[in-house]
């Protein structure tokens, strides 16, 4: 029934979809096996993409030719650029999505690709011959051959759903758990752990008194995620709202604590620290008598409402009674209760930087199975696993994005070298080179790589080349054109900054706080004439590069130093136990992780700077 596929992707979540797209767009045949074709790219929790650091990930996926950005743009109902009051390194795009359209658009995008085949079933077993994966076996007993397999099982592996004292197997509300794979992987020598996450109740928007909530609109001039011209910013948006819990809400929630799976110890898995349940919040912050809730529509037309901040696994009647004490929710009806889910994950130190497992050749893991949380974190891993599975079967070097090249690189490097004992989500603080890794320059950083892999088309590549040339021209111009006091002082006084005493180069004026390119254009006709040739994005990029050039240069220099360490290769066969001068922990960790380079070795937790010096001396010999 099946001929051999190049790659089989197990799971049609955010990770699996990006993996399948990458494989197919690189020209290889891929089979997406997923338990339920109707839930491809399902948003299990909040109907939103992006946010702080996650928005940067979506921009990077897009620059690499992935679909998350395009699908988000096509299905968003509101857009906001978060942290706009801070420097550009912190700007983070976030959108509110139409949950149903998001999933449909993803599915249609995959269906439009003739290299993607689909099969709806549960994969129960991997077929492994001589340490190499050669296919999968399904619940019905079908054996499907492939050269490489990517597991993206999300929250489904032995998933256990909790609502109060009720407990039942499931990978997500209304869906079966995946069984069999964890046990087989254990038998192969893999270690696994248990994590948990939770989701809030969904309410009936027709029964909420919106007039008592605070309205939160999207940006006046919304931007978008994708660098491609396939999508455009929203011309109309749906508002979100803000509400608050109060003491009465907390008191009712507390009546359910004795039945809480969290507090009675029935949930063993570790949850996401930055996404606590409402019961967790009222216990941990007992002195606070209210917590903010974001009331988010689930789509353009549906009346279903997501109550962001009210994640709970308390009994459904307690959730219901408590939420009706929130101002504006007095008569609210519930569509679905919140719940918590526990699932198996595989500590990611068992992976190479390519996301291929160290134990089984040709087997890749991506997404929540690696201990991460979030659609964006899952999507970018899926994309990288897809790319590397193709490179593997072509016998080519894997693509590893470095920490100064992409947040995606930071994420994978963190996972593989440090592991994680709680659900890992991306933050800007995880990236040491965040001034280099801005959301605005993801295309400049990554399009060329995507083009080399066949993931970005000629048009995208050309546009980036033109943008680069434009930025260079503008930078040169701003560095050479002089501005006289006569030209500048009116504008500078208006902006409340000191006037010029003598002529200076334009960049000196532009780097002053509050001065923009439009101000320079207005006072200098030569600049105005040249700048008129460039679009807003190119000009904005040039301005960022000029205004922050000192910081950018400093980070680049730091990164270069680290790259030199990354260039020193450590062979797979290196026997660290033989180097007595290494610390005991250093020897253990280095032997376990088997870093590919001295740079990677330096980032393994437990490996000290002294260990690195020892290795340098040893390699020098
Ligand atoms: P998933 O999106 O879970 O997709 C897994 C896919 O694999 C599914 O399509 C499933 O059908 C398929 N599958 C599984 N096993 C098999 C098998 N053996 N054979 C065939 N197909 C299989 N993230 C946050 O960032 N914040 C949150 O607050 C948050 N809360 C969450 C609450 C809940 C209740 C859940 C379920 C998830 C939550 N998440 C949250 C996580 C978010 O949904 C995931 O991070 C993201 O969806 C992971 O993507 P993925 O592709 O790895 O897996």
For residue 565, give the 3-state DSSP assignment.
Answer: helix
CA 82 / ligand 1 centre spacing (Å):
25
Distances in whole angstroms, Cα of residue 208 to Cα of each of 98, 169, 247, 310: 19, 32, 20, 16
At residue 26, φ and ψ (nearest 5 deg) are -85, 5
Question: Using CA atoms, how far apart are residues 112 and 48, in angstroms rounded to an integer?
Answer: 24
Q: 54 falls in which pLDDT band (50, 70, 90)? A: very high
CA 554 / ligand 1 centre spacing (Å):
39
CA 94 / ligand 1 centre spacing (Å):
20
Atom of ligand 1 nearest to the CA of 33: 20
pLDDT, tens only, 212-267: 999 999 999 999 999 999 999 999 999 999 999 999 999 999 999 998 888 888 88
Q: What is the DSSP letter of 356?
A: B
Ligand 1 pocket test target in 11, 14, 37, 274 with most atoms within 8 Å of CB: 11
Mean pLDDT to the nearest integer, 69-79: 98
Query: Nearest residue CA, atom 11 of ligand 1?
Result: 35
CA 387 / ligand 1 centre spacing (Å):
21
Mean pLDDT to the nearest integer, 189-201: 96
Q: Given strand 166-169, what is the order of strands in its sheet? A: 166-169, 160-163, 339-345, 193-199
Q: Give me the percent of the chain exceeding a pLDDT of 70.
A: 100
Per-residue confidence (pLDDT) for residue 621, from 0 to 100: 65
Q: Which of 314, 306, 363 is nearest to 164 (CA)?
A: 314
CA 460 / ligand 1 centre spacing (Å):
31
Per-residue confidence (pLDDT) for residue 605, from 0 to 100: 81
CA 318 / ligand 1 centre spacing (Å):
26
10 Å Cβ neighbour count for 459? 10
Question: Using CA atoms, how far apart are residues 368 and 466, in angstroms rounded to an integer?
Answer: 38
For 203-277, where are the alpha helices, taking DSSP H only? 247-254
Residue 101 has pLDDT above 90, yes or no: yes
Ligand 1 pocket test target in 123, 156, 364 with most atoms within 8 Å of CB: 156
Per-residue confidence (pLDDT) for residue 562, from 0 to 100: 82
- CB-CB contact of 312 with 279 (8 Å): yes
CA 207 / ligand 1 centre spacing (Å):
30
Question: Using CA atoms, how far apart are residues 15 and 20, in angstroms rounded to an integer?
Answer: 9
Q: How far is CA 258 from the centre of its chain?
A: 36
Atom of ligand 1 nearest to the CA of 375: 46
Atom of ligand 1 nearest to the CA of 379: 51
Atom of ligand 1 nearest to the CA of 14: 51
Atom of ligand 1 nearest to the CA of 377: 45
pLDDT, tens only, 142-165: 999 999 999 999 999 999 999 999
Question: Using CA atoms, how far apart are residues 494 and 496, in angstroms rounded to an integer?
Answer: 5
Atom of ligand 1 nearest to the CA of 138: 19
Q: Which of 352, 296, 369, 359 is nearest to 133 (CA)?
A: 359
Q: Measuring from each residue's beta carbon to the nearest atom of ligand 1, which residues come in under 6 Å?
A: 10-16, 33-36, 39, 44-45, 122-123, 152-156, 171-172, 178, 181, 197-199, 275, 341, 367-368, 373-375, 378, 425
pLDDT, tens only, 530-570: 889 999 899 999 999 999 999 999 999 989 988 888 889 99
375-389, 402-416, 600-614: least confident range: 600-614
Query: Nearest residue CA, atom 10 of ligand 1?
Result: 11
10 Å Cβ neighbour count for 397? 10
pLDDT, tens only, 477-535: 999 999 999 998 999 998 888 999 999 999 999 998 889 888 988 988 888 898 899 99
Mean pLDDT to the nearest integer, 83-111: 96
Ligand 1 pocket test target in 39, 71, 197, 267 with most atoms within 8 Å of CB: 197
Residue 211 has pLDDT above 80, yes or no: yes
211's CB contacts (< 8 A; 6+ apart) are: 328
Atom of ligand 1 nearest to the CA of 36: 11
For residue 615, give the 3-state DSSP assignment.
Answer: helix
CA 374 / ligand 1 centre spacing (Å):
8
């Amino acid at each position: 029934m099946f001929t051999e596929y190049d790659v089989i992707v197990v799971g049609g979540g955010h990770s699996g979809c990006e993996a399948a797209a990458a494989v197919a767009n690189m020209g290889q045949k891929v089979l997406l096996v997923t338990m339920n074709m109707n839930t491809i790219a399902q948003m299990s929790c909040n109907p939103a993409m992006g946010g702080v650091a996650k928005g940067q990930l979506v921009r990077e996926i897009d620059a690499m030719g992935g679909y998350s950005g395009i699908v988000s743009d096509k299905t968003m109902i509101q857009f906001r650029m978060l942290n706009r009051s801070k420097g550009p390194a912190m700007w983070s795009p976030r959108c509110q999505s139409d949950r149903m359209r998001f999933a449909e658009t993803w599915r249609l995008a995959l269906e439009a690709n003739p290299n993607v085949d689909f099969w709806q079933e549960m994969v129960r077993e991997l077929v492994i011959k001589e340490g190499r994966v050669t296919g999968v076996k399904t619940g019905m007993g079908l054996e499907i051959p492939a050269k490489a397999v990517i597991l993206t099982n999300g929250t489904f592996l032995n998933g256990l759903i909790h609502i109060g004292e009720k407990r039942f197997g499931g990978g997500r509300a209304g869906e079966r758990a995946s069984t069999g794979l964890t046990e087989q992987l254990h038998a192969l020598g893999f270690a696994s752990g248990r994590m948990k996450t939770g989701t809030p109740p969904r309410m009936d928007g027709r029964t909420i008194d919106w007039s008592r909530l605070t309205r939160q609109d999207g940006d006046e001039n919304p931007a978008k995620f994708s660098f491609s011209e396939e999508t455009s910013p929203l011309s109309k948006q749906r508002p979100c709202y803000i509400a608050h819990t109060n003491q009465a809400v907390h008191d009712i929630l507390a009546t359910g604590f004795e039945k809480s799976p969290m507090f009675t110890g029935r949930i063993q898995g570790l949850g996401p620290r930055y996404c606590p349940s409402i019961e967790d919040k009222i216990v941990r912050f007992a002195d606070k008598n209210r917590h903010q809730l974001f009331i988010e529509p689930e789509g353009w037309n549906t009346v279903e409402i997501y109550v962001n901040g009210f994640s709970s696994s308390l009994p459904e009647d307690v959730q219901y009674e408590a939420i009706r004490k929130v101002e504006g929710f007095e008569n609210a009806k519930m569509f679905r209760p919140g719940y918590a889910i526990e699932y198996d994950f595989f500590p990611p130190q068992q992976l190479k930087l390519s996301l291929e497992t160290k134990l089984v050749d040709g087997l890749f893991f991506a997404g929540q199975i690696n201990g991460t949380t979030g659609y964006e974190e899952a999507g970018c891993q899926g994309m990288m696993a897809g790319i590397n599975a193709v490179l593997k079967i072509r016998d080519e070097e894997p693509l590893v994005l470095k920490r100064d090249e992409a947040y995606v690189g930071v994420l994978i490097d963190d996972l593989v070298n440090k592991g994680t004992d709680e659900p890992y989500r991306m933050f800007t603080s995880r990236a040491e080179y965040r001034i280099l890794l801005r959301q605005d320059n993801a295309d400049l950083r990554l399009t060329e790589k995507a083009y080399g892999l066949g993931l970005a088309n000629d048009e995208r590549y050309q546009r980036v080349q033109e943008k680069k040339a434009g930025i260079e021209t503008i930078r040169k111009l701003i560095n050479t054109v002089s501005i006289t006091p006569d030209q500048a002082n009116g504008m500078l006084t208006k902006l409340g900054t000191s006037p010029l005493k003598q002529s200076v180069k334009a960049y000196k004026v532009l780097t002053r706080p509050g001065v923009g390119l439009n101000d320079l254009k207005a006072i200098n006709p030569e600049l105005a004439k040249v700048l008129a040739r460039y679009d807003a994005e190119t000009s904005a990029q040039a301005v960022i590069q000029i205004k922050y050039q000192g910081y950018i240069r400093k980070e680049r220099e730091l990164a270069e130093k680290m790259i030199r360490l990354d260039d020193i290769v450590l062979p797979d066969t290196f026997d660290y136990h033989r180097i007595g001068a290494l610390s005991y922990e250093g020897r253990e960790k280095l032997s376990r992780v088997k870093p590919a380079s001295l740079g990677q070795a330096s980032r393994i937790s437990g490996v000290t700077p002294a260990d690195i010096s020892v290795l340098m001396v040893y390699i020098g010999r």
